Amino acid sequence: MSGDIVKEIFKNAFRSKEYTFFEKGNLNLNIIGVRMGKKATNSFDDYLYVVYKVDGNWEYREYRITTDAGAYWLKNPMNNKGTAILKPNQYRGSWSIGKHQGKYLSLVQSKEVEVYRDNNKDMILDYSETTLDKGFFGINIHKSNPNKESYNVDKWSAGCQVFKKADDFDSFMDLCEAASFEWSNSFTYTLIESNDI
């Protein structure tokens, strides 16, 4: 698909939810996670899109990610309320470039976000409004295997948005670093569900 078509698809989805779609200037990144709606976990079965304009032309990139926690952390929550699952929403300016666990540059959470808490320790993802929790939880956007790619989520995500392939993540961070020079070190992430498109 062309960048113009992808832009219209997401712009329409955003309009229905009254989210902001960034259209001004170069490299004003729309970073969009698409949760595919499967309740089973441990697979990189979601997508991250970056939709942006360069010299008046719309471009996009598509990456395989997970928007959900892996099997290990669902069975072994690190929070006594349960494992975090990011709630679909638009989180304005809630991430910035920083080091994930002090190791490498990624997008790190810099404002409060909302998560569901899954605390029954099974392999089924629970998205219950009754478990919502808001705060700083270290919900970062980072990679899994530091060298190549991962096939199972396992310990790579305890609620973060995690890239399957290291090369894809590097490409994404190159875009973010370029955008930070054009705008600032502040990034909006919008998580939607596949049936929103």
Does 124 have pLDDT greater than 90?
Answer: no
Range 23-28 average pLDDT: 96
Range 73-89 average pLDDT: 93
Task: Please list, in sequence order, all residues whose beta carbon lies within 8 angstroms of the beta carbon of residue 12, skipping any fewer than 6 positions away.
Answer: none
- Tell me, what's the pLDDT at 50? 98
Task: Please list, in sequence order, all residues whose beta carbon lies within 8 angstroms of the beta carbon of residue 193, skipping any fewer than 6 positions away.
Answer: 34, 35, 37, 88
- Tell me, what's the pLDDT at 39? 66
Count how many domains the chain has.
1
- Tell me, what's the pLDDT at 98? 97
Q: Which pLDDT band holds residue 41 (cuts at 50, 70, 90)?
A: confident
Range 103-132 average pLDDT: 93
Tens digit of each residue's pLDDT (9 = 90 or more) over 56-80: 999 999 999 999 999 899 989 999 9
pTM: 0.95
Does 24 have pLDDT greater than 70?
Answer: yes
- Tell me, what's the pLDDT at 100? 94
Q: Return mean pLDDT, the chain.
A: 94
Tens digit of each residue's pLDDT (9 = 90 or more) over 156-173: 999 999 999 999 999 999
CA pair distance 9, 64, nearest whole angstrom: 19
- Domain span at residue 111 reads 3-196
Nearest CA-CA partner of 116 in 91, 92, 139, 83: 83
- Tell me, what's the pLDDT at 194? 94
